[in-house]
Structure 1
Amino acid sequence: MLEKTFYKQLLKRSFAMPVKIVFWDGSSAQYGQGEPKATITFREKVPVSAVTQNASIALGEAYMDQKIDITGPGAHPLQEVITSAYQQAGSFLRDAKLKKFLPKQSHGEAQSQADIHSHYDVGNDFYRLWLDDTLTYSCAYFTPENPTNDLTAAQIAKAHHILQKLNPQPGRRLLDIGCGWGTLMLTAAKEYDLKVTGVTLSEEQYQLVKQRIKAAGLSGVAEVRLQDYRELGDEQWDYITSVGMFEHVGQENLGLYFQDVAKYLKADGTALIHGITRQQGGAYNGWINKYIFPGGYIPGLTEIIDHIEAAHLQIGDVEMLRRHYQRTLEIWDANFNAHRAEIETTKGTRFTRMWDLYLQACAASFESGNIDVVQYLLTKGPSGTGLPMTRRYMLTDR
């Protein structure tokens, strides 16, 4: 009885849309005016103590274990429910006040490698099922010519968008920190005539990028290293790119990350740093940290800018791409669910529900504005050094 009272009090103020709640004893309640847009079914009680200690872990695990189901007429009911929760003050999925319950993060080199292995070495075959043909696992860039659907075209457009911002000159050197499966670095080598070095801690990514370099005939101009970015010594590059990387370094290492960017950048160099940022201030998410990205931390906008300033870098341009990442995640989740039966067969139901929840929850976070994704164009010298006077050069068609 106490559990039901707790949930009724919590849920009646948790959503910005009408929802129906079905409790574990078969009783139900509706909150909000109008036809329910989603139904949340509690098949078992989720202990109140677990929810009050860390809501995202308790409810995320309950969904993974099929103790909670979320259904609705829309294509993405999970995303709709979580978006509505984020839009409503006091959302039961916010963790802003729960940081004290999270363990201290460790980001030494050995821990960083273990964290990367746990996520990115799930298997290239798994990622091939739901990423696009380029195997790019970061926010795509949807142009007026490709506004919604072609993910491969949008990922290629993102690579060009990043590289064009650097205004790269042929024959110069580029470092890609956290190179993924190599699309950005290979595009830089093939189409911008740059000498490229990519670094990753993922063995699976490293092996595939080596194959892609050889297959493209780029062995003389592109290389990939299975190496921690902190161990690059005194080498310097004309350009640095880093996409979806700083979210993994941990709050305590953000300053060192930007100091290393500055260290590896030549005096007249330019860097494009692309990553997830919260405009409202940095935050952890307990469930994401435990099951998806161990050691992850989403920094706040002013927090990032403070670290950029402390590293003696200057900002030449800032661009928000929140809606692009929402759309990217929606396509990924559609692709994922198109292969759901295969994934369940190979990975199990719990893993499948976990990844579906992850993709839809992230899409909801971007849709609601809870998180953003930002591109920071940085120079080691005064802002804009070596770049054209206007932003028009960034939009040149290739």
Structure 2
Amino acid sequence: MTKTDVASRLAGALAIVMGADEIPLRLRAWDGSEAGPAGAPVIEFRSRRALRRILWSPGQLGLSRAYVAGEIDAPGDIFASFTALSSVGKFAEAGPFRPLTARELLTLLKTAVRLGALGPNPAPPPEEAHVGRHGRRHSKNRDSAAISHHYDVGNDFYALVLGPSMVYSCAVWNDERTGLDAAQDAKLDLVCRKLGLQPGMRVLDVGCGWGSFALHAAQRYGVNVVGVTLSAEQAELARKRVADAGLTELVDIRIQDYRDVDDGPFDAISSIGMSEHVGREQTPHYVSQLHGLLRPGGRLLNHAISWNAGPTSPDPDSFIPRYVFPDGEMLGLTEMIGALESGGLEVLDVEALRPHYALTLRAWVRNLEEHWDQAVKLTSIGRARVWRLYMAASALGFEAGITGVNQVLVQRPGGTGGTGGSEPPLRRNGWI
């Protein structure tokens, strides 16, 4: 076999998996051979095991496992590499990969034989979630396990990625020069203004994370906040931040399922980046529960990622459900609005923030790459690679319009004034 055979054969195998005639990448094989357009972004196959994974799982899952395991790498600009990948074949489609034909599988098998890559199916990297093996989907115990898989990976790790704001949702940017912390502060304040927060109001923060919204609302608007999360690590740090800020009289952080909150009514409810964990079947109950906790005339802001194009259910064998958000389900915007309206809530405003999330994700990737060695020490090389892949790919999804993120502001009908009983402004610029 000549020096160029390994890389060229790998390029052919990758083209089959992608459903393309050729790939716009420079492929570098484990033996040092290269194939593909000169000057194109480079993808490295560091081990025969990568090809074996693709043979056993010829789609996004096999490629993702090989990347997480370090058997495939994008050593340069990861955005350039993923942009090239996403422009062709099955990566250019929003839906699940089309199964390979018998002929395509046979060609892959022959390639694996020639390159000495045959063997048993390698065990998945340890970072792969096993939540789906335990309990009924979206039961309280399984949801708790799913949240723990994603969020309980170390507060110090998240601090490196998110920065001082410790906000793990889309920021709001004036322009690309806005710093991440300033953009997150702007988002938190925007939510407060949309909810019409006033001193003395009682606010529920569903999925409170590390307490950033609760702290902002209590410090700047003088409200009382109950924050609930299923993550023990988030709650521990959130409580410390509350204590350090001297706000223990105003902010109560609980490890509690939103379905178990029973001490309403609340004057306002924020749900920022939480409803993606609820699940389609549970969404009507989610709306009903929050409606029941909201006093008449009170407002709820639901900030959530949505499908803009393609499927509204994830492929269970794709990267995100396996490694990032087990059991997560994004709804389309019309589905979410329909659920809120069917649950007896009046829509006051809808704001699409899709470009803002792309900027936020790119900032998180920069933070991770700038602190790579420390991030690896705090968690694992595999976990750091999961987050790099997930955030970079997600940024491109927002930029391409495949996914979006929307703030839907609703109000429970009724109420005659009092604390937080003011009418919304006649024009949106009343809160923007």
Shorter chain as denominator, the TM-score bin is: 0.7 to 0.9
Partner of 1:83: 83
Change (3 A) 1:348 1:211: closer
- Work out whether residues 235 and 264 of structure 1, in 8 Å CA contact, stay in contact via their aligned partners in 2: yes
Residues 41-95 of structure 1 show CA distances to partners (whole Å, capped at 9, x for unaligned) of 333314555444xx222111111122212244xxxx3223333444446327854
| Superposed displacement of residue 182, structure 1 | 1.0
Partner of 1:168: 197
Range that drifts further, 213-222 or 367-376: 213-222
Match of 1:129 among 150, 160, 167: 160
Partner of 1:326: 358
Partner of 2:65: 61
Partner of 1:30: 36
Partner of 2:14: 7
The separation in 1 between residues aligned to 2:168 and 2:146, in whole angstroms, is 16
Partner of 1:317: 349
1:19 aligns with 2:25: yes
Q: Output the amino acid matched with 1:282.
A: T
Partner of 2:148: 117
Unpaired stretches in structure 2, ≥5 consecutive residues? 1-5, 100-130, 415-420
TM-score under structure 2 length normalisation: 0.80
Change (3 A) 1:71 1:350: same
Q: Output the amino acid matched with 1:291.
A: Y
The separation in 1 between residues aligned to 2:54 and 2:146, in whole angstroms, is 30
1:371 aligns with 2:375: no
Partner of 2:108: none
The separation in 1 between residues aligned to 2:40 and 2:94, in whole angstroms, is 21
The separation in 2 between residues aligned to 1:97 and 1:8, in whole angstroms, is 13
Q: Secondary structure at the match of 1:252?
A: coil
Partner of 1:283: 313
The separation in 1 between residues aligned to 2:253 and 2:16, in whole angstroms, is 54
The separation in 1 between residues aligned to 2:288 and 2:81, in whole angstroms, is 40
The separation in 2 between residues aligned to 1:213 and 1:3, in whole angstroms, is 53
1:40 aligns with 2:81: no
Partner of 1:343: 375
Larger radius of gyration: 2
| Superposed displacement of residue 252, structure 1 | 2.2
Partner of 1:391: 428
The separation in 2 between residues aligned to 1:251 and 1:79, in whole angstroms, is 31
Q: Secondary structure at the match of 2:246?
A: coil
Q: Secondary structure at the match of 1:116?
A: helix
The separation in 2 between residues aligned to 1:332 and 1:188, in whole angstroms, is 24
TM-score under structure 1 length normalisation: 0.86
The separation in 2 between residues aligned to 1:374 and 1:112, in whole angstroms, is 23
- When the two structures are aligned, how many residues end up with a matched partner? 380
Residues 334-382 of structure 1 show CA distances to partners (whole Å, capped at 9, x for unaligned) of 1111111122234332222222212212212212222111111111228
Partner of 2:226: 197
Q: Output the amino acid matched with 1:123.
A: G
| Superposed displacement of residue 199, structure 1 | 0.7
Q: Secondary structure at the match of 1:171?
A: coil
Identity among equivalent positions (%) equals: 34
- Work out whether residues 86 and 365 of structure 1, in 8 Å CA contact, stay in contact via their aligned partners in 2: no
Q: Output the amino acid matched with 1:204.
A: E
Residue pairs, 1:207-226, within 5 angstroms: 207-226=236-255
TM-align CA RMSD? 2.9
